[in-house]
Amino acid sequence: MSERKFGEGAQPSPVLTRRRLVLGGSLLGGALVVGYAATNFGAIAAGALSVGAADANPGVFGPFIKIDEAGWVTVVNRYQEMGQGTHAGLAAIVAEELDADWEMVRFESAPANAAVYRDVTMGIQGTGASHAIAGSWDQLRQAGAAARTMFVQAAARKWSLPIDSIGVRNGVVYHVASQRSATFVDLLADAAKVAPPEYPKLKDPKDYKLIGTEIVRRKDSQSKSNGTELYTQDVRLPGMLVAMVAHPSHFGGKLGSFDISAARKVPGVVDVFEIASGVAVVAKDTWSARLGRDALKISWDDAKAETRSSDELQALYREIAKGKTDVTGSAFQTKGKVDDAFDGELFEASFDFPYLANAPMEPMNCVASVDGRRVKLTFAAQIQTVDQINCALAAITLPGMVEIETLPAGGSFGRRGTLTSDYIVECVNIARHVGGGRPVKLVWTREDDMSSGYYRPMAHHKVSIKCDEDGLPTAWRHNIVSQAIVPFGANDLPTHGVKNSPYLSVASVVDARIFTPKLAVPPGLWRSVGNSQSAMVMEHTVDLLARRAKRDPAEYRRAIFTKVGDVRKLAVLDLVCKKAGWGSPLDAGWARGLAIHECFGTVVAQVAEVSVQGGNLRVRRVVCAVDCGIAIAPNQIAAQIEGGVCFGLGAALYGRITLDHGIPQETNFDAYRVLRMDEAPAVETHIVPSKKTPTGIGEPGVPPIAPAVANALLSLTGRPTSSLPFVI
């Protein structure tokens, strides 16, 4: 096969350069080793991870675009579609540069193959940090433009006309003067013979016909409304068994003695056996597996388990933040000389955050089969490369031998991005025991899901701030206590939103530290990660500082953003104030609260209208302003902001997982209260026009809502908030 380059340019894309080279000689009994030209370590690692994988076969238009004889343009989505609408934005980027007919554009999930489908920034195939659009912007524009050029060149040859006299619109290649035109289908065979251009010309944003318009809508609304969308829970394969697992009741608990005789007798139960994470019951259907599991008699060994309660842990965290334990702090931002910077009158505040479950609508599940060294997974994978590595370790094979068919997720909010691949490895362990390539569907109940950990970690923040005569911070001390979600390197995620905040930038002395306690409760990634806690701390603190200085909260922020030159935040702040009618009177009993936060490169400001009626907190309207760079899919940006507000508001009002002697108390929606329709505010989304590279939108809508509500409450009642949830 000839060497081809697709859409390389601003961002060198070794992903797209398909070359055969020897990476590790002949592994796996002579299996062909296909590697990829390596310009950096990520590419070498990605190539190594793909050893043994089926050839991704990029096709004539590269690995992200397929065009068929029926005229369908299929955009290959390497990210997890968990509701965030990424597929629509990615498809729009391709369709814009290709000048395709949007009605003939569809999408499909990419196979797991880090060499071809890794995120260029993360270095692995995975979805997180609201990065899908930002990570694809250059690559997909170039892929779309390259394909367009191939069609134009094919037409130019066929019609013997100069290339620059030929245009493309809605999937039709045309020449005005001669009134000639041809569809992509007409030119498909000829275009395939054209060498893809190395540096295709990209459109000037002023010529966009699709990007930024209401034409860009979801492609899956139909199948997700009429019940035909296939989720992991819906997978049925010939011979498939259904598994449930009895897990330890405590985190860090282990299997003690157990009696499986009664479980084995349950009709439909096929097998019962011990696995690393508990006792697995494998049955012919879900209900039999459930009855089989109910019939197990198990005593757990809790000798090394976490048996403390939430209030004990929260008290411990406060002591840690004061430096009174053997958990030492590690600096994440320091500036100036502390000396006497904190002498004199200080503003001090502290904040407690509970554990929170992600609780997506679809409880965790997975379908796996293991046949010798071949592992096949069919499920809503979020970080395919990590899952491949973890499953390869479990099944004693190579990551590339772990094939993943990625399905849409019935929500994730980070739960399916767990770095240990906990439930996926559990499913592989069961399928390995069953053996013979027989597929097994692991089903977790809601209770399994909510008591499984990987929670947003419990946290404590403590701030001590010195201000000047205008009330602006001059010295900022900040101690965070939070478990580490990523088990290696600095404990960075909880510092997001504090580190390099404009409020720290304006101070001349900064002393910010993170304390990392070790607990058996596994911490996880929760939509917006550290930002949902840090936004509450920073934005509520700033309102308290403004109040202390007798300044308007919007004006106070404006003064800081002006001083540090944060023009993006200034623009977002101005837009939200204008649209929310900041400063104008509200009806009696209602107050506005403001918050603004940058999360994964996107700035979101929210103004919430809040009232306390008969002891009930009501939020009726939330006005949002967003700067996410070039807005590709405005309708889906609005959808993510609406959803982010609801997700964050439900958590702020009610969300908590309480440990009682180590056991999670909220294990279903009766106790783990979430936002419901009668509590959902009207959300308005206003986008700041921008020419900058797009940034993400799946998570940034979440962080500002809790402090916006806290600030409105402060305005209503004069009382600060020092812990979440609001309603206990």
Partner 1 sequence: MKLNVNGEDRDFDGDPNMPLLWVLRDHLNLSGTKFGCGIAQCGACTVHLDGKAARSCSVLAAEAQGMKITTIEGVNAGHRLLVAWVKHDVPQCGYCQSGQIMQAAALLDEKPKPTDADIDAAMSGNICRCGTYRRIKAAIKDAAGVA
Q: Interface residues with partner 1 (CB under 8 A)?
A: 82-85, 217-218, 220-231, 233-234, 236, 242, 267, 285-288, 359-363, 408-413, 443, 445-446, 635-636, 639-640, 642-647, 650, 668-670, 674-678, 680, 682-683
Q: What is the nearest approach in angstroms of partner 1 to the Cβ of residue 409?
A: 6
| Cα(644)–Cα(604) distance, integer angstroms | 11
Of the two residues 506 and 535, which places its CB atom closer to partner 1 in the complex?
A: 535
Question: 3-state DSSP call for residue 74?
Answer: strand
526 vs 561 by CB, closer to partner 1: 526
Q: Is residue 509 within 8 Å of residue 337, measured between CB atoms?
A: yes
**Residue 535 and residue 556: Cα distance in Å, rounded?**
17
CB 621 within 8 A of CB 684: yes
The smaller minimum CB distance to partner 1, of residues 164 and 678, is found at 678
Q: Which is nearer to partner 1, 241 or 275 (CB)?
A: 241
CB of 102 to partner 1, least distance (A): 14
Task: Considering the complex, state which of residue 392 and residue 708 has its C-beta at the smaller distance from partner 1.
Answer: 708
Burial of 359 (0-12, 13-18, 19+ CB in 10 A): buried
Q: Where are the alpha helices (DSSP H) in 322-451?
A: 384-395, 422-434, 446-450
CB-based contacts of 34-37 (< 8 A; 24+ apart in sequence): 34/115, 35/115, 36/115, 36/116
Q: Closest distance between partner 1 and the C-beta of residue 217, in Å?
A: 5
Q: How far is the CB of 354 from partner 1 (least distance, A)?
A: 18
Q: How far is the CB of 352 from partner 1 (least distance, A)?
A: 24
Measured from the CB atom, the residue of 230 and 338 that comes closer to partner 1 is 230
Task: Give min distance, CB of 406 to partner 1, in A.
Answer: 14
- Nearer to partner 1 among residue 206 and residue 236 (C-beta): 236
CB of 219 to partner 1, least distance (A): 10
> DSSP for 152-170?
HHHHHHHHT--GGG-EEET
Nearer to partner 1, 225 or 613 (CB): 225
Q: Is the Cβ–Cβ distance between 42 and 12 less than 8 Å?
A: no
Nearest to 554 by CA among 351, 722, 724, 715: 715
Smallest separation (angstroms) from partner 1 to the CB of 562: 34
Least distance from partner 1 to the Cβ atom of residue 328, Å: 38
- Pairwise CA distance, residues 330 & 270, whole Å: 52
Q: Which is nearer to partner 1, 2 or 613 (CB)?
A: 613
Q: Does residue 602 come out as left (phi exceeding 0), alpha (psi in the -120 to 50 range) or beta?
A: beta
The amino acid present at 51, given as its one-letter code, is V
Task: Name the residue nearer to partner 1 (CB basis): 175 or 284.
Answer: 284
Alpha helices in 226-354 (DSSP H): 261-265, 286-294, 310-321
Q: Which is nearer to partner 1, 356 or 570 (CB)?
A: 356
Q: Which is nearer to partner 1, 399 or 643 (CB)?
A: 643
Distance CA 186, CA 169 (A): 14
223 or 330, CB closer to partner 1?
Answer: 223
Residues in contact with 563: Cβ distance below 8 Å, sequence separation at least 6, in sequence order = 472, 506
Residue 682's CB is within 10 A of a number of other CB atoms, namely 12
User: Is 519 or 639 the residue whose CB approaches partner 1 more closely?
Assistant: 639
Helices 132-159 and 86-98, packing angle to 10 deg: 30
**Per-residue buried b or exposed e for 45-60, using 16+ beta carbons within 10 Å of the residue's own CB:** bbbbbbbbbeebebeb
Phi, psi of 256 (to 5 degrees): -100, -120
Shortest spacing between CB 648 and partner 1, in angstroms: 9
Looking at the DSSP bridge assignments, the partners of residue 259 are 297
In the chain, the amino acid numbered 582 is W
Q: What is the C-alpha to C-alpha distance for residues 642 and 548, in angstroms, rounded to an integer?
A: 32
Of 547, 543, 473, 561, the residue nearest 706 (C-alpha): 543
104 neighbors 72 (Cβ within 8 angstroms): yes
Residue 225 C-beta: closest distance to partner 1, Å: 4
Which residues, 6+ apart, have CB-to-CB distance to 462 below 8 Å? 318, 321, 322, 348, 349, 350, 351, 478, 479
For 339, half-sphere exposure in the C-beta direction (CA atoms, 13 angstrom radius) is 4
| Nearer of residues 237 and 393 to partner 1, judged by Cβ | 237
Nearest distance from residue 144's CB to partner 1, in Å? 23
> Considering the complex, what minimum distance in angstroms separates the CB of residue 589 from partner 1?
20
Least Cβ distance, residue 590 to partner 1 (angstroms): 18
387 neighbors 381 (Cβ within 8 angstroms)? yes
Cβ neighbours around 493 below 10 Å, total: 19
State the Cα angle at 98 between 94 and 102, rounded to 5°. Answer: 70
Cis bond upstream, residue 360 (ω within 30): no
Nearer to partner 1, 228 or 257 (CB): 228
Nearer of residues 200 and 648 to partner 1, judged by Cβ: 648
**CB 79 to partner 1: min, Å:** 14
Give the nearest distance from C-beta 707 to partner 1 in angstroms. 18
| Least distance (Å) between residue 482 CB and partner 1 | 24
